[in-house]
Every structure is written in structure tokens, then in C-alpha cells.
Amino acid sequence: MGTPVKRIVISGYYGFNNSGDEAVLQSILLALQEQGERQGVTFHPVVLSVSPAETARTYGVESAHRMRPMELWRAIRGADGLISGGGSLLQDETSPKTIPYYIGIIRLAQLLGKPVFIYSQGIGPVHRPKFFGWIRSAFRRCRLITVRDEESKALLQRMGLSGSEVEVVPDPVMGMPLKSAARHREPGGEERVLAPVIGVSVRFWNKDRSELDAAAEALRRVMDETDASVRFLPFHLPADEEASEYVAERLGETYKHRISFARGVTHPQDMLAEAASVSVLLGMRLHSLIYAAGRYVPMVGISYDPKIDQFLNRLSMQAACSTQAPDAAAIADALLQLLRGRQAWRDEKRQVIERLKSDAHRPAERIAAFYAKGRKQR
């Protein structure tokens, strides 16, 4: 008997030119392929995307439009299961429509009798109590529930799910490898003779731009005191490119020759290579910090959301400051400390990072085992 082929629909925030969410998708696809090969199952992914043609072309997968009901229904009806995740899908901070959409996809799959797997999601914040029951009801019928931090598990328990139903795993992007052909500077190699590079991933958040002003002031101080250059890494196009330009303008003409941009980088593994090539990373985007950690690059976080603090906590770290209280001096001090102590940071964090990278594949391993078990029982 040949290897079974399982069509599996993947639901998430895909096709929006957000490098972090695209990295989640790439990581899930690679993990499914690897774990399927290990356990004798071939997965045929069908990705729900707002730009299905672009998603299909980028990742070599089948894709359906996430907002067209008949396409959704046909994709899920013809599938062997649904993966919901990862990322921060179930939260109502950005919109009250987000949770109903993703729970609706899960409920449709369940109504059609398809097994549903929650893949390393970050749950919350959930401000509207009515959503507690929606999430609890849908999750109780899922075959696997994995979340990316203890805070998400605690929130699900407050919603009424038992702790035994929920498994905490790392963000899937921790397990994403570089492209095999990628060329990047290995930590401790060329950087000993080249001037250090500070990777910067910023986004708009405060209306008065105080968080970006603080980042610019901190970078000015670091560039005053060292020969470091700055490379901006925009994760969500075009908004993050505009935020990067805002910071660059505030650095002024004096440092113009020491500033560069990674423009138009859309494939997550290309952005991972960018993050791998810097000496230290200053990040507001969660996945910029995860990219850096996955390549053993020291990072400084500016927190605009609890998910930033939750990830840094896993590395026994704290954000330099929050967007509620931007602190240029704290950012500069943290950058300077890591620039001077990069190798010590790597030595200290290597073991925990390696464990996180290994554990990031656990949901895919569990999903492959589910289908492999069904094959052996026939």
C-alpha cells in the first residue's frame, strides 16, 4: 500500500504581506513535510489566503480565498482536516470581527466532520466575555490544542477548558530553517573584524510616534559611541517600511552612510537570512525577535503587546521598555550591553533556544501521528 495523501486546510492570517504571519505558514508547511516523511504520511496543504494566487506561487501549495464562502466550503469539504494557526488569531484587540471569523472556520470544519488541530496559537487578549463561550465550545471539539505560551493556556482555562486539554509549545517560527542556499555570517565569525550591524524592526503604534522617536534617539547614541551601522528590516509592507523611514530621517544626515534597508523582502526565509546576518536586533515585531533568537542573534525588544513580553520571558529576558513608556536611554543601554557581550549572550541562551527549536515541531509531529495511526488501523 502506498503512502496515504492527506489534504489539510490551513487557516490563518495569510496573504497580507506580513512577514511574521508568512513565516508561521512557511514553518507549518516545512514541519508537516518533515514529520509526514518520518511517519509515512504525505500532506497536501490547502492554504486559506487573501491572495491565493500569490500564496500558491510563493509556497508551491494549493490555495483558496479566505473570504469567499463557496471556496472555503469546497476546500474544507474536500479536506481530511483543518489546522487553525498559528499566530494571534483569537483576539479582539484589533477588531471584534477576528474571533468570529476564525471560530467560524473551525465550526464549519467540525460541522463537516473534519478533525481540527489548533497549531501553536497565541490566545488573547479577549475583551468581550461573549467570545469565551464561542472559543470554549469550538475548542472542546478539537483533536489537538497547542498554544505558544503559558499565558494563552491560562486564558483558555479561565474560559473553562481544562489544563490537560491544552499543550504549550513554542511559536512554530522557532523551528524555521534557513534556505539551504542562504549565505549568512555565522555568529562569532566575520563580525570580529567587521563593524557590527544593528537590525531594526519597527512599526507604527503610538499616535504621537513617541516609540519611534525613542528608538531613533537610542540608535543615535549607540552610533555615537560605536562604529555600528543600522539595517532596517520591515516586516509588514508597506507600513513598516514607512515606520523605518521615519526613524531613519530622525537619525539625520550625519549617519546616512551607515543606514541601509532590506527593501521588498517578502519570503520569510529571505527575511530570516537578513535577521541572521546582523549582530544585534532591536525589534517591535514579535517574529523579528523570534527570527533573531532562532539564529542565536541577541535581541532587544520594545513591547507593544503582551505577546512580546511572553516570548522574551521564555528566554528569561525582559523588554527594554514598552510603547506606553518609551525609554531611549534603556533601549540604548540594552543595545550597548549586547553589542559588547554578544558571545556571552549566545553561550547563556543556546541551550534554551535549541530546546525551543526542537519543541516547535511537536504539533506537526502530533498531527502526522494522528493520520499515521489511522492508516495503521485500517
Phi, then psi, of 302 in degrees rounded to 5? -110, 120
Which residue in the block uniquely carries the three cell numbers 491572495?
Answer: 51
pLDDT in tens, 280-289: 999 999 999 9
Q: Which CATH class is domain 5-169+360-377?
A: alpha beta
Average pLDDT over residues 167-171: 96
Q: State which amino acid sits at residue 73.
A: W
CA-closest candidate to residue 302, choices 276, 279, 331, 278: 331
Q: Helix, strand, coil: what percent of the chain each, to 5?
A: 50, 15, 35
Which residue in the block uniquely carries the three cell numbers 504525505?
Answer: 42
pLDDT in tens, 338-372: 999 999 999 999 999 999 999 999 999 999 999 99
Which residue in the block uniquely carries the three cell numbers 541572521?
Answer: 276
**Partners of 280 in beta bridges:** 198
CB count within 10 Å of CB 248 equals: 20
pLDDT in tens, 184-213: 444 444 444 589 999 999 999 999 999 999
Phi, then psi, of 63 in degrees rounded to 5? -145, 145
Residue 377 banded pLDDT, cuts 50, 70, 90:
very low
CA distances from 182 to 100, 176, 277 (A): 40, 13, 11
For the domain made up of 190-356, give the CATH fold. Answer: Rossmann fold (3.40.50)
- Is the entire prediction scored with pTM above 0.85? yes
Domains 5-169+360-377 and 190-356 in one fold: yes
pLDDT value of residue 192: 45
* Extents of the domains making up the chain: 5-169+360-377, 190-356
* Separation between Cα atoms, residue 47 and residue 14, nearest integer Å: 8
